[in-house]
Amino acid sequence: MSERRDLPEKETVGFIGLGIMGRPMARNVLAAGFALVVYDLMPEPVNELVNAGASAVTSPAEVAASADVVLLCLPDSPDVEAAMSGPQGLLAGTRQGQIVVDMSTISPVTARALSEKAAAQGVILLDAPVSGGQVGAANGTLSIMVGGDAAALDRVRPILAAMGKTILHLGDSGAGQVAKACNQLVIAVTIEAVAEAMVLAAKAGVDPAKVRAALLGGYANSRVLDGHGERFLERNFTPGFRTRLQYKDLNIAMDAGRAYGAPLPAGALVHQLYAAMMARGDGDLDHSALVTLLEELAGQSIA
């Protein structure tokens, strides 16, 4: 394999992390005609991908050695750090000019530190967290928020296009993670806003469904009011997007606020409310279940 291949017909893609998101994303890369090399700690998703035509290796370092471009989709910052820098980590197998795309949602501070570490070895690390959930992962309709070298993004764009319909370059290294943190912050605070309004309506003796319908027609309209508000009313707390991941992503947003000197008062409040959700043992409910915490505080369900 050559040191560097500029825009070959189909590059060999490495994929590390075949979880709820990574597995369907990897399948879409394979379905788009790329050769695929996979690695995961769990045998079951590896077998599934191998049966679908991928080859499997036994360490991140081997993925780097076998693939032109490597994608990562892991739960949190420490997982990505281990996959990058551990003894059999990616950076033990990468070569000059190789591109690694981290599609996990992790701390922008970590993303920037790892990018510098990779650059010291001549490796280009892009941060490329996604939004759109399991449905978007399965359908290849994710939004991908990319930070890092623009030319490197152009090289891997055909691979990302197998997984997402919107690929946005937000800026330098870490910018994708910053945008993702902002996204998760806005969603969480908006869920709380809608939950408070609907609980207020219920306690004041007004049908929350009617209030939601009225608010959808004006400046209070949001995708959260629409989608999550409907979940509140239908008591549909099957994820969707799990409370434990929303909490994890708020940890990231608050850490970023602290690192970069941005006070986030509403974010901090809602972070603590999600901490209460975790303490209640509700981590596996959809993040819209935040309304049940408010209902408990108010002593009344809205539906």
Question: What is the C-alpha to C-alpha distance for residues 96 and 94, in angstroms, rounded to an integer?
Answer: 7
Beta bridge partners of 35: 12
Through-space distance between the first and last CA atoms of the chain, rounded to whole angstroms: 61
Question: What is the C-alpha to C-alpha distance for residues 97 and 219, in angstroms, rounded to an integer?
Answer: 48
Q: Measured from the CB atom, is 41 or 259 closer to its own copies?
A: 259
Does 1 engage in binding with its own copies (CB under 8 A)? no
Q: Measured from the CB atom, is 116 or 260 closer to its own copies?
A: 260
Considering the complex, what minimum distance in angstroms separates the CB of residue 217 from its own copies? Answer: 5
Considering the complex, what minimum distance in angstroms separates the CB of residue 214 from its own copies? Answer: 5
Does 253 engage in binding with its own copies (CB under 8 A)? yes
Does 299 engage in binding with its own copies (CB under 8 A)? yes
The answer to whether residue 10 is catalytic is no
User: Does residue 36 sit in helix, strand or coil?
Assistant: strand
Q: Which residue has the tokens 């997007």?
A: 241
Considering the complex, what minimum distance in angstroms separates the CB of residue 62 from its own copies? Answer: 34
Of 119-148, which residues contact its own copies (CB under 8 A)? 131-132, 143, 145, 147
Query: Which amino acid makes up residue 86?
Result: G
Catalytic residue among 117, 180, 203, 248: 180
Q: Measured from the CB atom, is 66 or 131 closer to its own copies?
A: 131
Question: What is the C-alpha to C-alpha distance for residues 46 and 37, in angstroms, rounded to an integer?
Answer: 10
Q: How many CA atoms lie within 13 A of 114 on its CB side?
A: 32
Of 222-241, which residues contact its own copies (CB under 8 A)? 222-225, 227
Of 72-101, which residues contact its own copies (CB under 8 A)? none
Contact yes or no for 99/156 (Cβ under 8 A): yes
Of 205-224, which residues contact its own copies (CB under 8 A)? 205-207, 210-211, 213-215, 217-224
Q: Measured from the CB atom, is 1 or 262 closer to its own copies?
A: 262
Sign (positive/negative) of CA torsion 203, 283, 126, 17?
Answer: negative
Sign (positive/negative) of CA torsion 287, 293, 294, 296?
Answer: positive
Question: Who's near 76: CB < 8 A, 6+ residues apart?
Answer: 104, 106, 248
Per CB under 8 A, the list member of 73, 267, 277, 286 interacting with its own copies is 267
Site size toward its own copies, by CB under 8 A: 72
Contact yes or no for 85/72 (Cβ under 8 A): no
Q: Measured from the CB atom, is 31 or 213 closer to its own copies?
A: 213
Binding mask 177-206 for its own copies (x = CB under 8 A): -xx-xxx-xxx-xx-xxx-xxxxxxxxxxx
Of 147-176, which residues contact its own copies (CB under 8 A)? 147, 166, 168, 170-172, 174-175
Stretch that binds its own copies, among 20-28, 242-250, 257-265, 278-286 (CB under 8 A): 257-265
Question: What is the C-alpha to C-alpha distance for residues 156 and 150, in angstroms, rounded to an integer?
Answer: 10
Active site residues: 180
